[in-house]
Amino acid sequence: MKIIPTKIHALLDYVVALCIMAAPWVFNFDDQGSATWVLVASGTATIGHSLMTEYEYSLANAIPFSTHLLLDTFSGLAVASSPWLFGFTFTKDKVEPKQIKKDSSSFKDLKKDLMPLQINRVEINHGIIKYKDEFSKPKVDIALTNAYVLASNLRNSYDSSAILPAALRATADVYEGKFELNVKINPLAEEPTFDLNAEVKNTNLVKLNEFFQAYAKVDVNKGTFGLYSEVAAKEGKFKGYVKPLIKRSGCPGQRRPRRQHLSQGLGRDRRRRGRSFSKPI
């Protein structure tokens, strides 16, 4: 049951996104770098996926409404947790006396004073990470299996000489392929500070046909997928790359009458009405 009609939901998406983007200036904390760009990025992302959602006031009906709701949830959780992830520091007013400013400490500083905390090792074996969409057609149920996660050296205070003291490693099987993630991070740094590398190798695209049928309206009869990425952040600067790789892909046809190849569909079929992977903006 839809409590809020999609037409009202669409209007609220744009209004709320603009309010979120304007919040740093309305509430006078635009000098807080991380807090400002988190809210601006969140509002921009909301407007972006709203313009591509299958509902009123969008430009391209490329994203199912159920997926839109999932993106809204992730966006809300990301914004709600951002003060702890990025260590925001706020004061009650820019012009308040210096002796009063000390009352508003960042959560990062408060954690140091509460109690000593040290977690040497957190390990997960033989886990399963799933993505399910019960409202898509066909229903989507994909998973990372045999997942292994190891987090080490998690503390609420570190030796100042250690640049990236904590570490996270994760591996999993992805439909006949392999996923691997390695992250070194300083959770208490003033600005995001980490070194990340990730890769996906030899994932069988045919095993993901439910996903492609639900969101791209296409069948895949062969091919493998890989992705390679390295990202580093320090002192508010980010550097890295993301490189996707598709090998020997092929599509015998869509659920629509015309058949097409995955690697040609986006370029060739946009010129044919009603036969493209996604509607043009």
How many residues in total does the chain contain? 281
Is residue 262's pLDDT more than 80? no
What's the whole-number average pLDDT of the chain?
A: 77
Kindly state whether residues 17 and 98 are assigned to the same domain: yes
Give me the pLDDT at residue 274, please: 42
Question: What's the pTM?
Answer: 0.49
Task: Please say which residue of 99, 114, 129 terminates a domain.
Answer: 114
| Residue that is last in its domain, among 65, 96, 114 | 114
Task: List the alpha helices (DSSP H) in the chain.
Answer: 6-26, 33-50, 65-86, 98-101, 107-114, 209-215, 262-268
State the pLDDT at residue 17. Answer: 87
d(CA 171, CA 12): 39
Q: Distance between CA 218 and CA 254 in Å, rounded?
A: 4
User: pLDDT tens digits, residue range 8-31?
Assistant: 888 888 888 888 888 888 888 777
Q: Are residues 88 and 99 in the same domain?
A: yes
> Using an 8 Å Cβ cutoff, are 91 and 101 in contact?
yes
| pLDDT above 90 coverage of the chain, percent | 17
Note whether 179 and 264 are same-domain residues.
Answer: yes
Give the end of a domain, one of 114, 140, 166: 114
Residue 62 carries which side chain, given as an amino acid letter?
Answer: A
Q: Indicate if 146 and 17 belong to the same structural domain.
A: no
Average pLDDT for 244-258: 64
> How far out from the chain centre does Cα 91 lie?
29
Contact 34, 88 (CB under 8 A): yes
**173 and 270 housed in the same domain:** yes
262 and 173 in a common domain: yes
Q: Is the same domain home to 172 and 59?
A: no
Give the number of domains in the chain: 2
Give the per-residue pLDDT at 252: 60
The Cα–Cα gap between 208 and 133 comes to 13
Both 150 and 249 in one domain: the answer is: yes
Question: For the segment 35-55, what is each residue's pLDDT rounded down to a tens digit?
Answer: 788 888 888 888 888 888 888
Residue-number span of the structural domain to which 222 is assigned: 117-281
For the ranges 184-188, 192-196, 244-248, the one whose mean pLDDT is highest: 192-196
Low-confidence winner among 17-21, 193-197, 215-219, 257-261 (lowest mean pLDDT): 257-261
What integer pLDDT is reported at residue 3 of this predicted model?
Answer: 67
Indicate if 171 and 255 belong to the same structural domain: yes
Q: Are residues 45 and 157 in the same domain?
A: no
The band of 226, judged by pLDDT with boundaries at 50, 70 and 90, is: very high
Same domain, 76 and 145: no
Share of the chain above pLDDT 70, in %: 73
Residues 151-162: pLDDT tens digits? Answer: 988 776 656 667
- Cα distances from 257 to residues 19, 221, 274, 276, in angstroms, run 44, 17, 10, 12
**pLDDT confidence band for 88 (50 / 70 / 90):** low
What pLDDT band is residue 182 in, cutting at 50, 70 and 90?
Answer: very high
183 and 230 within one domain: yes
